[in-house]
Amino acid sequence: MYSIEQINYIKAPAATIYKALTTAEGLGQVWTRKLEVKPELGFVNVFDFDEGYLTKMEVTDLQADTLVSWKCVASDQEWVGTGISFELTEEEKATKVRLNHHDWRELTDYYRWCSYNWAMFLFRLKKYTESLN
């Protein structure tokens, strides 16, 4: 199995970033505006990227201000069964956000393209949450 791992350092409190990753307001600013999300274990978040199918992520772990984890239950076939986690660690001057998109079955061009897009996701998360301070 393979993983995409990315890190970004964001000059915002972990609580602000956690809220952005668990609410429609926050995810609507950094991922897609067409969504239905709840910060509730077992809830299946739904994201629509206008690609002809919905991406559905079951919320598998929530630890206030430190961890958000999802399992993909519907999407592009390469995503189904993969997991995504966001670990938040407050450091001296920033919050470290460690993204891990794990359990990829193989290294494909789509995997590589998603790696790039996760980096862009973290960049948008940084811009959005830093603008709230």
* Mean pLDDT of the residues in the chain: 97
30-43 pLDDT tens trace: 999 999 999 999 99
Q: Which residues pair with 68 in a beta bridge?
A: 62, 86
pLDDT confidence tier of residue 125, bands split at 50, 70 and 90? very high
Rounded distance between C-alpha atoms, residue 18 and residue 111, angstroms: 25
| 133, pLDDT greater than 80 | no
Q: Is the CB of residue 130 less than 8 Å from the CB of residue 10?
A: yes
Q: What is 2-131's CATH topology?
A: Alpha-D-Glucose-1,6-Bisphosphate; Chain A, domain 4 (3.30.530)
- For the record, the structure tokens of 5 come out as 């791992």
pLDDT confidence tier of residue 105, bands split at 50, 70 and 90? very high
36-66 pLDDT tens trace: 999 999 999 999 999 999 999 999 999 999 9
pLDDT > 90 in the chain, percent: 97
| 10, pLDDT greater than 90 | yes
- The CA–CA distances, whole Å, from 27 to 15, 82, 105, 127 equal 14, 19, 26, 13
* CA atoms within 13 A of residue 4's CA, in its CB half-sphere: 27
pLDDT > 70 in the chain, percent: 100
The pTM (predicted TM-score) of the whole model is 0.95
Domain boundaries, the chain: 2-131
